[in-house]
Amino acid sequence: MTTTKSTAAERVRAAAEPGTLVLVCLASWAVPGAGHLWLGRRQKGLVFLVALTTMFVIGLFLDGRIFPFDWSEPLVALAAIADVGLGVPWVIARMASQGAGVVTAVTYEYGNCFLIVSGLLNSLVILDAFDIAQGRK
């Protein structure tokens, strides 16, 4: 018997397979809100996409730095891990040689704050997408 997946709950159950779970998390990491859009949570997905991308771009405009993975400096390495949380915008910024950071700029620390927090917030968004895909929310 075939059934139409018309409700959010049914869509969630259909996405709960391990392979799909991994793909949802990867999509959510790569593009902020993509996991929610995939799972049918359009309003949430769009808000995450706009808000987190805006935060990241503002961070770059404020001369913030996208930190390198320098394991000899634990705080720098932690900041780098946080930055990676935003996925594709981070990759694009790295490829375009953005985010070098201007230490002497008045807004340098503000920029870092925007960049790091956008990555960390996207990590929470990924966890939320995972929970939704698991049927917990």
Binding of residue 114 to another protein (CB under 8 A) = yes
Binding of residue 121 to another protein (CB under 8 A) = yes
Binding of residue 83 to another protein (CB under 8 A) = no
In angstroms, give the least distance from the CB of 11 to another protein: 15
> x/- string (CB under 8 A) for another protein, residues 37-66?
------xx--xx--xx-xx--x---x----
Q: Which of 11, 113, 130, 134 binds another protein (CB under 8 A)?
A: 113
Size of the site for another protein (CB under 8 A): 20
* 133 CB burial (10 A radius; 0-12, 13-18, 19+): buried
**What are the residues whose beta carbons fall under 8 Å from the beta carbon of 107, sequence distance 6 or more?**
62, 63, 64
**What are the residues whose beta carbons fall under 8 Å from the beta carbon of 28, sequence distance 6 or more?**
34, 35, 36, 122, 125, 126, 129, 130
